[in-house]
Amino acid sequence: MSFAELWRQLEPIGRHPAGGYRRYSWTPADAECRAWFTRHADGLGLTAEQDRNGNLWAWWGSRDAAREDAVVTGSHLDSVPDGGGYDGALGVASALAAVAELKSRNFNPERPVAIAVFTEEEGARFRVPCLGSRLITGAIEPGAARALGDDDGVTLAAAMTAAGCDAGLIGADEGLLARLGAFVELHVEQGRALAPMGAAIGVAEGIWPHGRWRFDFAGRPDHAGTARLADRNDPMLPYASTVLAARQAAADHGALATFGKVIAEPGGANGVSSSVRAWLDARAPDEETLGETAAAIRSAAEISAGEHGVTLTVRQESYTPLVRFDETLRDRITGVLGAAGITAPVLPTGAGHDAGVLAARIPTAMLFVRNPTGVSHSPAEHAEEADCEAGVHALALVLEDLAG
């Protein structure tokens, strides 16, 4: 199965007529993505299965549970709201195509090879990114995970149960982890470093630490046409100044800070809001800077809330420490690619990945495929087909080297 054909079949799934993707975990679009993956894994003669945490695995070669050196590749199929088609999906389609390439060359892996599809990497539905890989590695407690709720109040446990899974079984999976020897995730580049360097493929150095915080500003609802300005407790005002403070704090610290989601209640155009709930995503080159940036934003929010007679509650919803990928594995990969005439610059990234979570437990690396505009988490996210093919070939070379 060629990459182009795999892509052609995956492309329409979960795409909103406006152009972006809405592939949220445990929804019908997610089920269709999973069916696409399983169908093609079966077609390649791989053994597809779902683990206790809802992640998909397709195994090639020995399934002997005693083997502890499987070479794993893959990524995720869920998306952010109105996201691009490449984030995650490119890594999964490339993994299938790379295995197809190796099979067509009659390559016989010495080590088991597996393709993984991790659930809820974006945290778009249940708000904890890399949920599937966090669960496997025990980075989130199963009870806390089961209770996570989406915007409609549906819990993860209920969503998994509706999808036919036993949510009572989620949690750390040491047996599965013990079978894994290395993980290499291919991903569309998020940022624009490769294009100016004239390189189609990059290799990851590490991932900036990042976190998400929920800010709840609670005020008093009132009439937009009659309540005097001085009498209002309008939660929109401290929220607005917090957005500006976040921008300033990020600039001051060399960090990134974004409020990308906000819900104003009750949502009347002619009323002062009763509450504003907003989510801060902050990232920085190191954890100290991230802590300082988040603290500066929180302090600005507290001061402004006080000035407006508004109550503020801040809760951290997720945190991912700094990740440095395995240098030995990275050098081996750049060596393999270099020997094939592929120059792959080493790049840091501010984007989160399941590879970052798994890096705490097994040697992990990432390949990036050039994104000509750098835009991501947007329908404009793109990679040229020739670069995608180059990514498949690079991944096949890496798998061949590691598993050969």
Q: Candidates 21-29, 84-92, 213-221, 394-402: pick the segment binding Mn ion (CB under 5 A).
A: 84-92
Asked if 122 interacts with ligand GLV (CB under 6 A), we say: yes
Asked if 189 interacts with ligand GLV (CB under 6 A), we say: no
Of ligand GLV, Mn ion, none, which one sits near residue 85, judging by CB under 5 to 8 A according to partner kind? Answer: none
- Closer CB to ligand GLV, 93 or 264, in the complex: 93
Whole-number minimum distance, CB 149 to ligand GLV, in Å? 19
Whole-number minimum distance, CB 112 to ligand GLV, in Å? 28
- Closer CB to ligand GLV, 54 or 129, in the complex: 129
Of ligand GLV, Mn ion, none, which one sits near residue 219, judging by CB under 5 to 8 A according to partner kind? Answer: none
- Distance CA(121)–CA(127), nearest Å, equals 10
Asked if 129 interacts with ligand GLV (CB under 6 A), we say: yes
- Closer CB to ligand GLV, 121 or 400, in the complex: 121
Asked if 351 interacts with ligand GLV (CB under 6 A), we say: yes
- Closer CB to Mn ion, 30 or 87, in the complex: 87
**# binding residues, ligand GLV (CB under 6 A):** 4
Q: What is the 3-state secondary structure (H, E, C) of the chain?
A: CCHHHHHHHHCCCCECCCCCECCCCCCHHHHHHHHHHHHHHHHCCCEEEECCCCCEEEEECCCCCCCCCEEEEEEECCCCCCECCCCCHHHHHHHHHHHHHHHHCCCCCCCCEEEEEECCCCCCCCCCCCHHHHHHHCCCCHHHHHHCECCCCCEHHHHHHHCCCCHHHCCCCHHHHHCEEEEEEEEECCCCCHHHHCCCEEEEEEECCEEEEEEEEECCCEECCCCCHHHCCCCHHHHHHHHHHHHHHHHHHCCEEEEEEEEEECCCCCEECCEEEEEEEEECCCHHHHHHHHHHHHHHHHHHHHHCCCEEEEEEEEEECCEECCHHHHHHHHHHHHHCCCCCCEEEECCCCHHHHHCCCCCEEEEEECCCCCCCCCCCCCCCHHHHHHHHHHHHHHHHHHHC
Asked if 88 interacts with Mn ion (CB under 5 A), we say: yes
Short-list 366, 359, 204, 350, CA closest to 290: 350
- Closer CB to ligand GLV, 264 or 351, in the complex: 351
Whole-number minimum distance, CB 255 to ligand GLV, in Å? 14
User: Exactly one of 352, 356, 363, 391 binds ligand GLV (CB under 6 A); which one?
Assistant: 352
- Closer CB to Mn ion, 92 or 245, in the complex: 92
- Closer CB to ligand GLV, 84 or 112, in the complex: 84
């990308």: which residue's tokens?
260
Whole-number minimum distance, CB 375 to Mn ion, in Å? 12
Whole-number minimum distance, CB 78 to ligand GLV, in Å? 10
**# binding residues, Mn ion (CB under 5 A):** 2
Taking CB under 6 A as the criterion, which residues in 155-184 touch ligand GLV?
none
Whole-number minimum distance, CB 352 to ligand GLV, in Å? 4
Structure tokens at 199: 């390189």
- Distance CA(46)–CA(96), nearest Å, equals 10
- Closer CB to Mn ion, 25 or 233, in the complex: 25
- Closer CB to ligand GLV, 54 or 352, in the complex: 352
Asked if 87 interacts with Mn ion (CB under 5 A), we say: yes
Whole-number minimum distance, CB 233 to ligand GLV, in Å? 33
Of Mn ion, ligand GLV, none, which one sits near residue 352, judging by CB under 5 to 8 A according to partner kind? Answer: ligand GLV
CA dihedral 218, 223, 229, 231 (to 10 degrees): -60
CB 106 within 8 A of CB 95: no
Q: Candidates 79-87, 177-185, 198-206, 232-240: pick the segment binding Mn ion (CB under 5 A).
A: 79-87
Whole-number minimum distance, CB 366 to ligand GLV, in Å? 12
Short-list 188, 213, 228, CA closest to 84: 188
Whole-number minimum distance, CB 226 to ligand GLV, in Å? 42
The contact set with ligand GLV (CB under 6 A) reads 122, 129, 351-352
The contact set with Mn ion (CB under 5 A) reads 87-88
